[in-house]
Structure 1
Amino acid sequence: MNRLQNKTALITGGNSGIGFATAKEFLEQGATVIITGRNQASLDEAKQALQGKVFTILSNSSNLNDVRALRKQVEEISPALDIVFINAGIGKFAPIEAVTEEHYDEQFNVNVKGAYFTIQQLLPLINDGGSIILNTSVNAHMGMANSSVYSATKAALLTLARTLSAELLHRRIRVNAISPGPVTTPIFDKLGMAADEKEGLKTAVQSKVPLGRFGDPAEIARVATFFASDDSTFVLGTEIIADGGMITL
């Protein structure tokens, strides 16, 4: 299978979870892959596990100095990109009464500002006819309590899929979004919950998924491959919801 043969892809947050699974899938489909992450040890581990035509860049999506440096770092690896998967993101949950400015800014800085300016910086490197993929969330469509900030960041990304697709028509660069439902990724280990609380949350969420399970990162990676490949050349400004039926049934 070589749906991405001779293509070069950059994946932000490609050292774990959905980003890592997508890097693996893209490599198997013939692409050269560049992954970014904010932890060098984690990047080194990912590179060793992935092997093949994979390169790493230490870069924190919430730090605009890192984002501004990204174009030059990419050019040292490849003169151009065909695919950019904006995957880096964080999720923290709290009722509105408990939300602080730090809680708000941290998520918007990574999920929205970092995403937006990463695209801006890399746009000159993206080949005409290329693909930008945004990793959003079904939370953008749901009224889930305690998720007001996180959900707002993901809804903002959905609007970018449409507005940037319209703005980039002259270059035939299509911008699309993937909205995963619950997926087994390290994000659950970063919620600051005790083990029993996490298990309780997982059970509660799983009970709302018609398929009766969490998604696997590889399942989301295959959706990303569709958007990244020439199979989607007539698809732009749209969203694929991959949630096991959580909000669609």
Structure 2
Amino acid sequence: MGMGRNALVTGAASGIGAACAMLLAERGVGRLVLVDLDGAALDALDLPGCEVLRFIGDVADPALWERIEVEAGPLDHAVLNAGIGRGAPIANLSFETWRELMTVNLDGMFLSLKTALRLAADGASLVLTASVAGIKPEIGNAAYSTSKAAVIQLAKVAAKEGAARGIRVNAIAPGGVDTPIWDKMPFFAGIVAQHGGDRAEALAAMGKGTPLGRFASAAEIAAQVAFLLSDDAATITGTVLVSDGGYLL
């Protein structure tokens, strides 16, 4: 990363995406191309020192990516991060919920990746946000886990396809991270209630179930993404960086 480079970030309005956008701006990226459904939150991001192009829309909308391909210009980096979470046991999982997860997490990732590869300069680096859930199965997580397992495979195929041009593609697979995605999980509301409505305490209690005893912050994951994007990772491609506090152990 450096002055004059251009970077795309999807799901940039909050969580890991916002943390990545802020870190890239701090590290001197010249132009950021940001994508999110939440236009107000996207506009509220404070990103001094770099040009910012904001695209408000659904990552699963092909028309959005047609517009971005025309307007965004060449890319040196991309953080393909937009995603949602839902959960239910397979026997109780509605097809509507299944399709909602696949539409955003997989169709949206495919369209994002396709456009990023078409805009990528030789030697560009891309990181896809997967999840440790795409590696380790858990009860009630079939749709999300399946979508993230597919993201991992997409990253590996893209790494092989991009290698001839020096384009590196990797995935990051976080475990628990303090992001707004939890607030849309019905079970999490119950855990918060058990802790007197204290969200931070609820996340801390959940984090104690991992060997390191805590969840990650979005800023910590952003720093790891930045490493994968950077020249320090120049020989790393087609890999999955698991950042889960030891959850897989």
Under a length normalisation based on structure 1, what TM-score does the superposition of the two structures give? 0.90
Q: Which amino acid aligns with 1:61?
A: V
- Output the CA distance in 2 between the equivalents of 1:230 and 1:194: 38
| CA displacement at 1:141 relative to structure 2 | 1.5
SS in 2 for 1:34: strand
Matched, 1:178 2:172: yes
Could you report, residue by residue, the CA deviation over 1:65-113 in whole angstroms, capped at 9, with x for unpaired residues? 2233221231xxxx31101111000010001122112111111111111
Count the aligned residue pairs: 240
Would you say the 8 A contact 1:132–1:175 is kept in 2?
Answer: yes
> Which residue of 14, 17, 20 corresponds with 2:18?
20
Give the structure 1 partner of residue 237 of structure 2.
Answer: 236
Give the structure 1 partner of residue 142 of structure 2.
Answer: 148
Q: How does 1:94-105 map to 2 (within 5 A)?
A: 94-105=88-99
- Output the CA distance in 2 between the equivalents of 1:18 and 1:8: 18
SS in 1 for 2:177: coil
Unaligned runs of 5+ in 2: 195-201
- Output the CA distance in 1 between the equivalents of 2:204 and 2:77: 36
Unaligned runs of 5+ in 1: none
Would you say the 8 A contact 1:86–1:133 is kept in 2?
Answer: yes
| CA displacement at 1:173 relative to structure 2 | 0.8
> Which residue of 49, 52, 77 corresponds with 2:49?
52
Q: 4+ residue stretches of structure 1 with deviation over 3 A? A: 192-205
Give the structure 2 partner of residue 224 of structure 1.
Answer: 225
- Output the CA distance in 1 between the equivalents of 2:56 and 2:163: 31
Under a length normalisation based on structure 2, what TM-score does the superposition of the two structures give? 0.90
Give the structure 1 partner of residue 185 of structure 2.
Answer: 191
- Output the CA distance in 1 between the equivalents of 2:187 and 2:157: 37
Q: Which amino acid aligns with 1:244?
A: G
Matched, 1:4 2:2: yes
Give the structure 2 partner of residue 128 of structure 1.
Answer: 122
- Output the CA distance in 2 between the equivalents of 1:223 and 1:146: 28
Q: 1:189 to 1:59 in 2, by over 3 A?
A: same
Could you report, residue by residue, the CA deviation over 1:155-191 in whole angstroms, capped at 9, with x for unpaired residues? 0011112111111222111110000010000011112
> Which residue of 59, 66, 69 corresponds with 1:68?
66
- Output the CA distance in 2 between the equivalents of 1:45 and 1:169: 37
